[in-house]
A and B are shown apart, each in its own frame.
Chain A
Amino acid sequence: MAKVTVSKLAKLFPPPIKGGDVVRAITNIDFEVDGNVFVSIVGPSGCGKSTLLNILSGVDTPTSGSVTVTEAGKPAKLGYVFQDARLLPWRSVMDNMMYVRDDASEESVANAAKYLSMVGLDHTHEMFPGQLSGGMQQRVGIARAFSVEPDLLLMDEPFSHLDAMTARSLRDHLQDLWSRTRKTVLFVTHDVMEAVQLSDRIIVLAPGGVIYDDISIDLPHPRKASDPKVATLQAEILGQFENMQIPAVE
């Protein structure tokens, strides 16, 4: 049940070429996420989505403004799923799971195994990442993030490198995991259909890193892509997006 507060957040990057303009990745955004909700952040490429997650996870620092991520007043525990799996290639799947955990007790191992099992990877404990397919590696990444039992789960386009069929099956895995554990999730994607299927709320960013829209979606979880209610809502929101005409980044 994490609480995320973003206020007057801005992030500038130094000009990519000498004498050029600074890059405005994020310009003064404010929002709040409270409770076990699944929030998607959508927007065109380069509008600062990854930058926002990096700041939230502490990998990057804001230029101005502030972010706080708390769990009952204390700093929250984070899990992160990246666009690529980011597994240590020299460690087996199980050892990768253990890398992000602080104790190596038997319970801890059993717990890691439980999450691998939830994404259907029971048989892979001893295998190395190079022996797995891209989709399997991504599943390890998802299991790893869930297994630390984070208060806030950050996901940055976790399915965009995968083919449509694998992505769909992983979306089901994700919904299943989420329905069982109900964490606060910030899920970055540029796929509106995916955002509608998964989330309770969609924050739309526009180029320059400003909030363009904030949509809530009120449908029970888990949602099937084939469910007509989901399909209708997808069509409706996609229609809204077409009317928004978010300008592309230059």
Chain B
Amino acid sequence: MAGVLVDSAEASALGTAAGLRRRRYLALVTGWVGFVAIWWLLSVWMDSDARLPSPGRVWDEVWIIFNGDPTNSRNDGGIFWNNFLASVIRVLLGFVVGVAMGTPLGFLMGRNRYWRAFLKSPVMIAGSIPGLTYAVMVLVVFGISFVGPVLAIGLISMPYIAINVAEGVGGVDKGLLNMSRSFGRSEKQMFRDVVVPSVLPFIFAGVRLSFSLAWKVGQLTEVFGASQGIGFQIRRNFQLFNMPAVIAWIGLFIIFMLVLERFVLVRIERKLFRWRQWEREG
């Protein structure tokens, strides 16, 4: 009897979980449909492609971006992937630069209190400089170039990574280090098997934290100083008064950022830190 009771309670608990999920999807879909509907109504009311193009017009542009424009030979089907890849590669390289600069700084800050005192304010200040400053700075120094955006992304993400790494290094479990020492492990082994795995999640957290910021700065520098990339396309179409294309590129940018963040980053993190799902208190 008791078993039956538990079963039905469990079943209804599961039922509500599924119901909850269904309701959440419903809310999500209603939200998007409502958004597009309002957009469409507004565009009908404003009746101006230059100010607010309709969803249909933007969709046509999205289609052109992917499949090419039969009326314009310069705009073939490769335009999306070329520009998209240019942006993604810049951001990835920028993160490589940011991690390469931020990790050693973080180690110095986490290991040694003199270095911490010395580096803390510069790193904090670097972290609070607005992205636009970096974008303009690299444009002034490098002009229209490939290095500029990469460096700007590196500079904007560096403080986040440094501060996170410093925290991670400070938090390495002394008990595990002592254990390693008493079993005769070398400094190199301890670094590779204790310090690095402890700090890695913190580096990742730094990347996650600066991710959207880095994308924004990347786009900003592209708007001013690049000849390819999503940001460059936004500026070019803006100069051509092609508002539907501007919105199409912005929309694609947002969608790809979400996909990258929600699916790619989170997946990598989950895979890399599989052991963490079993961590528990005490």
Contact = CB atoms under 8 A, between A and B. Distances in A.
A79 B176 CA distance: 14
Interface range on chain A: under 10, 10 to 19, 20 to 34, or 35 or more?
Answer: 20 to 34
Contact of B197 (A80, A84, A90): A90
B275 interface: yes
Interface centre among A58, A59, A88 (most CB of B within 10 A): A88
A88 B193 contact: yes
Nearest to A150: B183
Contacts of A78: 182-184
Contact of A79 (B180, B183, B274): B183
A100 B197 contact: no
Nearest to A128: B275
A187 to B, nearest CB: 15
Contact of B176 (A58, A88, A154): A88
Contacts of A31: none
Contacts of A88: 176, 193-194, 197
Contacts of B275: 89-91, 128, 130
A59 B175 contact: no
Interface string A130-142: 1100000000000
Given A130-B279, A131-B278, A82 B197 contact: no
Contacts of A79: 183
A148 B183 contact: yes
Interface size band for B: 20 to 34
B175 A82 contact: yes
B279 A89 contact: yes
B280 A58 contact: no
Contacts of B180: 99
A234 interface: no
Contacts of A128: 274-275, 278
Contacts of B184: 77-78, 100
Contacts of B277: 130
A66 interface: no
A57 interface: yes
Contacts of B182: 57-59, 78, 80, 154
A233 B276 CA distance: 47
Given A59-B178, A84-B175, A100 B183 contact: yes
Contacts of A221: none
A91 B278 CA distance: 12
B183 A130 contact: no
B179 interface: yes
Contacts of B279: 89, 130
A8 interface: no
Contact of A99 (B193, B276, B278): B193
B23 interface: no
A80 B280 contact: no
A78 B277 CA distance: 33
A100 to B, nearest CB: 4
Nearest to A131: B278
A54 B174 CA distance: 13
A100 B182 CA distance: 10
Contacts of B197: 88, 90
A91 B176 CA distance: 13
Contacts of A57: 181-182
A229 interface: no
A59 B190 CA distance: 14
A58 B275 CA distance: 31
Contacts of B278: 128-131
Interface string A58-85: 1100000000000000000111101010
Contacts of B183: 78-80, 99-100, 148
A91 B280 CA distance: 15
Contacts of A89: 275-276, 279
Given A84-B175, A128-B278, A100 B181 contact: no
A89 B280 CA distance: 11
B185 interface: yes
Interface string B124-168: 000000000000000000000000000000000000000000000
Interface string B172-209: 00011011111111000000011001000000000000
Interface of A: 54, 57-59, 77-80, 82, 84, 86, 88-91, 99-100, 128-131, 148, 154
Given A80-B182, A90-B273, A90-B275, 5 more contacts: A57-B182, A100-B183, A128-B275, A130-B280, A154-B182
14 contacts: A58-B182, A59-B182, A79-B183, A80-B183, A82-B179, A86-B178, A89-B276, A90-B275, A99-B180, A99-B185, A99-B193, A129-B278, A130-B279, A131-B278
Q: Which A-B residue pairs are the 3 nearest by beta carbons?
A: A130-B278, A100-B183, A57-B182
